[in-house]
Amino acid sequence: MLAAKFSDLITPQLGHQLHQRKLLNLGFMVMGLVAIMVALFTLAALIIHMAMSGWPRLSTWEFFTAFASRRPERAGILAAWVGSLLVISVTAIVAVPIGVAAGIYLEEYARKNWLSELIEINVTNLAGVPSIIYGLLALGVFVYEFKFGRSVLTAGCTLALLILPIVIVTTRESLRSIPQMIREAAYAVGATQWQVIWHHVLPYSIGGILTGTIIGLSRAIGETSSLITIGALTFIAFLPESPFQGKPPFVSWEWLNSPFTVMPIQMFNWVSRPNPEFQVNAAAAGTVLMTMTLLMNGFAIYLRYRLRQGIKW
Amino acid sequence: MVTSSSQTMQRLDSQFPIKAEVRSLDFYYGQSQVLNDINLAIPDRQITALMGPSGCGKTTLLRCFNRMHDLYPNNRYRGEILLDQRHNILSPTIDPIEVRMRIGMVFQKPNPFPKSVYENVAYGLRVQGRTQRSDLDEKVEAALKSAALWHEVKDRLKEPAFNLSGGQQQRLCIARALVTNPDLVLFDEPTSALDPMSTAHIEELMRQLKAQVTILIVTHSLQQAARFSDYAAFMYLGKLVEFQKTTKLFAEPQDPLTQSYLSGSVG
């Protein structure tokens, strides 16, 4: 027998219960929305407040071209942003080849046994080690043992150690996402393991690897405590020697040995001054640092989008 | 029932030269035995179909021919596969990469590389270090013609392979397997992911291909095996139950297991 109305098909109890189930669903959705709003709003408020406080200094070009100074209205971030750029370059040059190579080895070559399991767990653990510990390690190894000094080189290597676990883990995840059938297709025509990796696995996963690496670098650029530990200067009024020279051999490596400061240390320095005008400088430096980080993350997203075009499994 | 298959093998000997011969092959995944004393002779330039219900070991047997199992740990095998009556390609002294340069494979799902049509086909030559453009061009064209794809893609060689339809992608994979002039091409249910039109196209292609290359194909479709294979092997629970000329196997199966499988009561 056909029911007269569709809703007649269910009993009142079932209908009531359905109403309650849907209410619960709605309730969770609202809760989730509130949670994400709280997170986003806090971040937005922080950035806007900082940008507005720092605006008087940000709007002057001298802020970017002047060295630190005792007079707040003349102090700038030249040494800091150049230092950050140089340190981050060293970090990338050291961390990317080592991290990617380690990731490839662990994912593609290493036998799966208790030892590789142990290494895997420890690499993940390393990502959680407080950065000041890395600073102490670097002070002992790079500064005192290797005699690198309190230099750009030491700082770059320290931050490289710090982000190495991130690079290794993202490399492995990206490699793992390449379907086995693509590897088998390459093996089936007589490729060696290295050819499979070099011609296929690595090119197809490079988007993910680069994304992870840039996210790691953007963490490194805001890193403070480990660099203070190795003895970064907080007040510096000169630039490292330029890597590019006007006369042969045109490149110089002197900058690697140069003392340095970086953006977050400069900011830290200004925040700790009692003079309120330095707080404006700190806010301005913070805004620049945030912008650098956001730009790097934006670039990572763009890269991932570009490199994944035309690859679908 | 192994004895019946080795008798068949001898009968086949007199009719066609043998391309590859499996001798007492056992295979284990870890502790579980998947293939049990397989004996099988693959006739030269014919289509031989391996059929049987899921889990009977037909794909495992197929993948022994190009040592695909060597890529994964915990696989063990014992026995021989003689190529051209001479070389035991399962021997540890033979490099699996050399085997794969002579025995091609086409997979269940079309799996072109995310590269151009041209580079997909040329890859088998590139891994051998061949770079001369005219040589590559010539071989790529010949392979695409053999795979009945040349006329559809000759103006789109630089396009990504993913722009091709599913059936075209599978024929591209066939061209990729043919470019190195293999002795034997393995097909692992090559049409199971394709629509009926593309399937018919691929089956027709295989009929043409057998003039130049020996074909070993795994299929779970009885109709497909009946349609175009010359010889058919029926496997059940890791054993080779019966191996015959296809027409004979379907008309008068000897083994009761084969009879019940063909009639649909097993599998």
The C-alpha atoms of residue B215 and residue B205 are separated, in whole angstroms, by 12
Closest Cα in chain A, distance from residue B182 (Å)? 10
- Residues of chain A with Cβ-Cβ distance to B112 below 8 Å are 185
Yes or no: say if B218 and B232 are a contact pair by the CB < 8 Å rule: no
Closest Cα in chain B, distance from residue A126 (Å)? 29
Torsion over CA: A182, A186, A188, A189 (sign) = positive
Which token pair is A129?
């080690």
- Regarding the domain delimited by B2-263, which CATH topology (the fold level of the hierarchy) does it fall under? Rossmann fold (3.40.50)
Name the average pLDDT for chain A.
86
Q: What integer pLDDT is reported at residue B13 of this predicted model?
A: 46
Q: What integer pLDDT is reported at residue B10 of this predicted model?
A: 42
- Residues of chain B with Cβ-Cβ distance to A199 below 8 Å are 123, 126-127
Is 60 exceeded by the pLDDT of residue B129? Answer: yes
Nearest by CB to residue A184, choosing from B107, B128, B180, is B107
- For residues A159-182, give the mean pLDDT: 92
Query: Which residue carries 């004393």 as its tokens?
Result: B37
Phi, psi of A130 (to 5 degrees): -55, 140
Interface confidence, given as ipTM, is: 0.91
DSSP A242: P
Q: Do A130 and A34 share a structural domain?
A: no
Q: What integer pLDDT is reported at residue A225 of this predicted model?
A: 85
Q: Is residue A4 part of a domain?
A: no
Is 80 exceeded by the pLDDT of residue A70? Answer: no
- The burial class, CB within 10 Å (0-12 / 13-18 / 19+), for B165 is middle
Q: What integer pLDDT is reported at residue B266 of this predicted model?
A: 65
Is 70 exceeded by the pLDDT of residue A9? Answer: yes
- Residue A184 — very low, low, confident or very high, per pLDDT cuts 50/70/90? very high
| Cβ-based neighbours of B262, under 8 Å, separated by 6 or more | B222, B250, B253
User: What's the domain count of chain A?
Assistant: 2
Strand order in the sheet with B75-83: B32-43, B18-29, B75-83, B87-88
The C-alpha atoms of residue A218 and residue A222 are separated, in whole angstroms, by 7
Q: Is residue A6 part of a domain?
A: no
Q: What integer pLDDT is reported at residue B1 of this predicted model?
A: 39
- Residue B5 — very low, low, confident or very high, per pLDDT cuts 50/70/90? very low
- Residues of chain B with Cβ-Cβ distance to A309 below 8 Å are none
Give me the helices (H) in chain B, please: 2-15, 58-64, 96-102, 117-126, 133-146, 150-153, 166-178, 196-209, 222-228, 246-251, 256-263
Q: Do A158 and A72 share a structural domain?
A: yes
- Print the domain residue range for A47: 13-58
Nearest by CB to residue B160, choosing from A186, A191, A310, is A310
Which chain A residue is nearest to residue B170, measuring alpha carbons? A185
Q: Flag the least confident range among A13-17, B39-43, B129-133.
A: A13-17
Task: Answer whether A185 sits within 8 Å of B111, measured CB to CB.
Answer: yes
Which token pair is B88?
């035991």
Q: Do A107 and A145 share a structural domain?
A: yes
Which CATH number is A154's domain given? 1.10.3720.10
Is 90 exceeded by the pLDDT of residue A61? Answer: no
Structural domain spans, chain B: 2-263
Task: Answer whether B111 sits within 8 Å of A112, measured CB to CB.
Answer: no
- Of A46 and A312, the structure prediction assigns the larger pLDDT to A46
Amino acid making up residue A103? G
Closest Cα in chain A, distance from residue B177 (Å)? 7
- Residue A1 — very low, low, confident or very high, per pLDDT cuts 50/70/90? low
Q: Do A36 and A183 share a structural domain?
A: no
Q: Do A235 and A180 share a structural domain?
A: yes
Q: Do A167 and A258 share a structural domain?
A: yes
Q: What integer pLDDT is reported at residue B7 of this predicted model?
A: 47
Helix and strand tally (H, E) in chain A? 12, 0
Task: Answer whether A189 sits within 8 Å of B71, measured CB to CB.
Answer: no
- Residues of chain B with Cβ-Cβ distance to A185 below 8 Å are 107, 111-113, 173, 176
- For residues A145-173, give the mean pLDDT: 90
Which chain B residue is nearest to residue A189, measuring alpha carbons? B124
pLDDT in tens, A232-291: 776 777 777 777 777 767 777 777 878 888 888 888 888 888 888 888 888 888 999 999
Which token pair is B14?
């007199």
- Of B265 and A94, the structure prediction assigns the larger pLDDT to A94
Closest Cα in chain B, distance from residue A96 (Å)? 25
The C-alpha atoms of residue B262 and residue B267 are separated, in whole angstroms, by 9
Task: Answer whether B111 sits within 8 Å of A182, measured CB to CB.
Answer: yes
Q: Do A231 and A138 share a structural domain?
A: yes
Element (H, E) at B32: strand B32-43
Q: Do A179 and A146 share a structural domain?
A: yes
- The burial class, CB within 10 Å (0-12 / 13-18 / 19+), for B235 is buried
Q: What integer pLDDT is reported at residue B173 of this predicted model?
A: 96
A205 touches chain B (CB under 8 A): no
Q: Flag the least confident range among A96-100, A108-112, B136-140, B142-146.
A: A108-112
Q: Do A47 and A185 share a structural domain?
A: no
pLDDT in tens, B202-246: 999 999 999 999 999 999 888 889 988 999 999 999 999 999 999
84-103 in chain B: CB under 8 A from chain A: 97-98, 100-101
Task: Answer whether B114 sits within 8 Å of A184, measured CB to CB.
Answer: no
